[in-house]
Amino acid sequence: MLENEKQLIILCKKGEWENFSPLYDYYVEKIYKFIFFKVKHQENTEDLVSNVFLKAVSALPKFDTEKSYFSAWLYKIAKNVVADYYRFKREESGLDEVWGLKADDNTEKDIEKKEKKEEIKRALKKLKPEQREVVILRVWHELSYKEIAQIIKKQETNAKMIFCRAVKNLKYEVPFSLFIYLLISANQ
């Protein structure tokens, strides 16, 4: 969360839109990664990210800083933009199959990371779509349970429970070291 986020939003609501720039700068890369993992196409991702922020700017006057986190609100917009994209594209793969992990493919050291990611991808495919989404939001996007709850439209305790059940299901699917990493992520 950006340190003075609420104040920036309040100023934007008063028509001082130059204050949106720090919000954009802080969240654009996160939203880009979130969408790219689902779309896996750079140009489409860039278009969709632009769409997310256009929708955010137009809807910002209605946003209530007391009821929701700005980050959760942006991720919800992004999730809906991606859903609209696939609805429009009518691609054969359903939204339940669309997900991804960070891509790091620069050096030989990354080969091991890639192998681990492939193991995790295989394991994540075995989870229910909601569990998979919660794990990705928690571990790779480092969102709080409260933010995740707002995105999936459930209570915070439900988000924690979904994550815990997912980790329990992954217990026998991933190596012990990766399982420990997931457990640590659950308790942060």
Q: Which pLDDT tens digit goes with each residue over 113-154? A: 666 667 777 778 888 899 888 888 887 787 889 999 999 999
Q: Any idea which architecture 1-93 has in CATH?
A: Orthogonal Bundle (1.10)
- Domain topology for 106-188: Arc Repressor Mutant, subunit A (1.10.10)
> How far is the C-alpha of 37 from the C-alpha of 57, rounded, in Å?
23
Q: Where are the domains of the chain?
A: 1-93, 106-188
For residue 102, is it left (φ>0), alpha (ψ between -120 and 50) or beta? beta
Q: Which pLDDT tens digit goes with each residue over 8-39? A: 999 999 999 999 999 999 999 999 999 998 88
DSSP sequence for 78-135:
HHHHHHHHHHHHT-SS-GGG--------SSTHHHHHHHHHHHHHHHHHTS-HHHHHHH
Instruction: Kindly state the tokens that stand for 87.
Output: 């609805």
> How far is the C-alpha of 155 from the C-alpha of 136, rounded, in Å?
18
More confident residue, 36 or 88: 36
> How far is the C-alpha of 99 from the C-alpha of 130, rounded, in Å?
11
